[in-house]
Amino acid sequence: MLPADITKTVLELPAEDRLELARRLVESVVTPAALNEAVAEGIRRIEDVAAGRTAGLSEEQFRSALR
């Protein structure tokens, strides 16, 4: 399966399944010792947005914040 096909398939999964996959992917490329508080905080923030506890940014807001 090509990366584009995998991406399309994964994006069709429910949010909870995508979050679990994201956790597993991060853990697969970062050794447990290097999985520091910054990564854990990033995962918590993604989960907060996905669960509706925190409002996410629109694409325009995100791009504006990068400038």
Q: Please, what is the angle between helix 3-11 and helix 15-29, to 10°?
A: 140
Can you say whether residue 40 is alpha, beta or left, with left for phi > 0 and alpha for psi between -120 and 50 degrees?
alpha
Structural domain boundaries in the chain: 3-66
pLDDT per residue as tens digits for the range 2-50: 888 999 999 999 999 999 999 888 888 876 666 677 788 888 898 898 8
Q: Are the beta carbons of 50 and 15 closer than 8 angstroms?
A: yes
**What pTM was computed for the model?**
0.47
